[in-house]
A and B are shown apart, each in its own frame.
Chain A
Amino acid sequence: MALPVNATRGQHVWYWCLRLICAFGFLFLIGPIVIVVPISFSAGSFLSYPLPGFSMRWYDAVVEPFPWMFALENSLIVAVSTTIIATALGTLAAYGLTRADFPGKPFVFGLLISPLAVPLVITALGLYFFFARVGLVQTHIGLIIAHVVLAVPFVVITVSATLKGFDWNLVRAAESLGARPLAAFFQVTLPLILPGVLAGAVFAFVTSLDEIIVALFVSGPAQLTLPRQLFTGLRDQVDPSIVAIASILIAFSLVLLVVVELLQWRSAGQRSRRED
């Protein structure tokens, strides 16, 4: 987006206006995330600058068993279970959706990803009423089922996209050499689409780890998760231990960002190799 040498005055003005808006936009996006992290290392309890000194005291509060470590444990139990179930169900469905046509396929695909299009609070309400009748309110299993609903569309979309670039001749070759369908899937298809499946799994994990609205509706004190504890903390009393846990989560998202970029880069590489 370089300016031509013969640009008019008006073009110059536009060019710099655009740059100014962009600079503001990028600062706005990244600023808050960068600014809060140092506050978590503050020796004082004010949430502003200048920092009175460096200390790890707020991180000491975070590793106390209650509430943060308890919430972390719950979050991990729910997120790991959600990821395993959503990835298995979603990969299976995506495989079926790309393998062959069947009547009503577009409709089925639309239905499977529809939890993405419905506002979370409505899903939460429906699940709350449903769980209340079948006795799943305030249980870990209920929360996991709810999170699978929200996470599975991401797996279906990601794995379907990866399978679009998949060479089905490889499966035919394996089957013609005597591999049974299951063996062909685990030994030929799965290793090749693994980056896509893993990317889907990461999406599912993050969806569950970050989910709050459904958790507020269907879970109880025994299913306290990190987002719920953050929500409670922010509503009642904001202290630097919240900023400390936020900083840890920001570091975690940085790791995730890198992981997902690598995975997508790998599966994109596979696609382009196939197109060559």
Chain B
Amino acid sequence: MTDEAKTAPADRSLEAKLRRAQRRRSLNAFLLVAPLLLFILVVFAGPILSLLYFSVDDPKLAEVMPRTAEIVAEWDGAELPGEDAYATVVEEIRAAYEDRTVAAAAMRLNYEISGFRSMVMRTGRKIRRITGPPYKEALIGLDERWGDIAYWRAIKASAGPYTTRYLLAAVDLERKWDGSIGTAPPERTIYIDYLERTFWISFWVLAWCIAIGYPMAYLIATTGRRLSRILLALVLLPFWTSLLVRTAAWVVLLQNKGVVNDSLLYAGLTDEPLTLIFNRTGVYVAMVHILLPFLVLPLYAVMRNIPASQTRAAASLGAKPVAAFLSVYLPQTLPGLGAGCILVFILSLGFYITPALIGGASDQMLSYLIAEFATRTGNWGMASAIAILLLLSVAALYPVYRGLVRGAAGFRFG
């Protein structure tokens, strides 16, 4: 403190100048980063965050039939609504049918009860027959399902502007008409199955990658220089080869009349071709093949720096080989193993192309559902909700990874 107080004014201005120069350098550095930062924020972070919005956004019915949406929002859902509700529905279906906007609302209603879409479209076609009150009887006369309270509750659930149905449906739940949350009907409880399957496939792919990849990385790291380079190239070539090319190779090899089956038949190991493709076996084989380099390379990078003298020292101090490996070698490889595992697991959670080409109907993962909903059925809400489910699964794994690496560091130095 006293030193600072004694500083001459000239020094202080020098200090201020220095600080100003540093600030300018910081600003310049930030300005260099700014274009990319802006780009990533607008084109990547924004769209990812917008998935949250699309998973609850529910504007369709209210856009097409605004007054119906208002009326059912106020209706308590206990008994069939009154004449004014029926009158509004008749009027708005008539208008929407003429404007050709009714299909969007009908599609939304169909998410609640399947068959609702065709019911609305048919009502639209015949709506000219209704000429005056009482609208309730007339509408039920067109289609008696208009007298079923379940359909009115479906309209209430679709009234928007926001809904939790997609997020709940992604975990096999639904909101009942009275506001309580319960299990969805059996034909819609498929999403938890997909989630479990996605994790299960990823888990087995990871297990195989560790079982094969750990010894491979060990061999590359500990063998002679010449052989090590060749073996590393054998890992790097597939790593650099296109994912689709490698998937194509497996499609060719695993076919019923493919190389693998022909070889097995030729060698007399089987009498008839095995089914190796369009099932789980094929998916595991191809996914392990594609992801194995992602485990081997980080492991090798860590193992390369572990001196062989350490294991020898442990052995000379009386440690049995297994004990020396477990207490001296393995802990030092954990950061590389952790990095490799998290990479393989996260990549496999998001796999889409390989299961789509090599798997059967029961081998598809969450990504497949997202693609189906987004590009085939155009159900943005459901696609977003499942994407959020997948994103949360991936995010949940990062603390595990950090804990693993920190645990490894503690193990080494503690």
Contact = CB atoms under 8 A, between A and B. Distances in A.
Contacts of A48: 255, 257-259, 262
B250 interface: yes
Contacts of A250: 241, 245
A216 interface: yes
Interface stretch (B7-15, B156-164, B345-353): B345-353
Given A46-B257, A47-B257, A122-B390, A97 B33 contact: yes
A261 B235 CA distance: 13
Contact of B26 (A100, A115, A145, A261): A100
Contacts of B374: 125, 128, 217
Contacts of B288: 28
Interface residues of A, number: 84
Nearest to A156: B36
Contact of A32 (B28, B32, B289, B387): B289
Given A130-B46, A234-B248, A213 B28 contact: no
A130 B47 contact: yes
Given A47-B257, A125-B370, A22 B44 contact: no
A99 B31 CA distance: 11
Given A18-B218, A92-B36, A130-B50, A227 B238 contact: no
A129 interface: yes
Given A18-B218, A21-B215, A32-B253, A127 B47 contact: yes
A197 to B, nearest CB: 14
A187 interface: no
Given A21-B215, A25-B213, A129-B54, A30 B350 contact: no
Contacts of B384: 125, 129
Given A96-B30, A99-B25, A152 B40 contact: yes
Contacts of B181: none
Nearest to B347: A119
A253 interface: yes
26 contacts: A11-B321, A18-B219, A25-B292, A26-B216, A26-B231, A28-B292, A33-B238, A48-B257, A48-B262, A49-B262, A93-B36, A108-B37, A111-B41, A117-B394, A122-B48, A212-B244, A216-B371, A230-B248, A231-B244, A234-B248, A238-B248, A249-B241, A249-B245, A250-B245, A253-B237, A253-B240
A56 interface: no
A56 B35 CA distance: 48
Contact of A256 (B235, B240, B258): B240
B276 interface: no
Given A47-B258, A100-B29, A130-B47, A246 B249 contact: yes
A29 interface: yes
Interface string B170-201: 00000000000000000000000000000000
Interface in A196-231: 206, 209-210, 212-213, 216-217, 227, 230-231
Interface residues of B, number: 87
Interface of A: 1, 10-11, 14, 18-19, 21-22, 24-26, 28-30, 32-33, 35-36, 39, 46-49, 89-90, 92-93, 95-97, 99-103, 108, 111-112, 114-115, 117-123, 125-130, 145-146, 148-149, 152, 156, 181, 206, 209-210, 212-213, 216-217, 227, 230-231, 234-235, 238, 242-243, 246, 249-250, 253-254, 256-257, 260-261
A253 B242 contact: yes
A253 B390 CA distance: 31
User: Which 7 A-B residue pairs are closest in the complex by CB-CB distance?
Assistant: A119-B350, A96-B32, A126-B47, A100-B29, A130-B47, A93-B36, A121-B367
Contacts of A100: 22, 25-26, 28-29
Of A19, A118, A145, most B-chain CB atoms within 10 Å: A118
A35 B253 contact: yes
Nearest to B30: A102
B375 interface: yes
A125 B36 contact: no
Interface of B: 22, 25-37, 39-41, 43-48, 50-51, 54, 211-213, 215-216, 218-219, 222-223, 231, 233-238, 240-253, 255, 257-259, 262, 288-289, 292-293, 321, 346-347, 349-350, 352-353, 356-357, 367, 370-371, 374-375, 380, 383-384, 387, 390-391, 394, 398
B33 A93 contact: yes
Tell me the dominant secondary structure on chain B's binding face. helix
Contacts of B44: 114-115, 123, 126, 149
B222 A1 contact: yes
Contacts of A234: 244, 247-248, 251, 357
B27 A89 contact: no
Contacts of B398: 117
A118 B48 CA distance: 9
A1 B219 contact: yes
A33 B253 CA distance: 10
B394 A230 contact: no
Nearest to A36: B249
B235 A93 contact: no
Contact of A148 (B39, B353, B367): B39
Contact of B390 (A24, A90, A119): A119
Contacts of B34: 96
Contact of B29 (A96, A120, A246): A96
Contacts of A125: 51, 370, 374, 383-384, 387
Nearest to B216: A25
Given A32-B250, A212-B353, A234-B251, A122 B391 contact: yes
Given A121-B390, A217-B375, A238 B238 contact: no
Contact of A209 (B212, B218, B242, B293): B242
Contact of B387 (A46, A101, A122): A122
Nearest to A153: B40
Contacts of A30: 234, 237-238
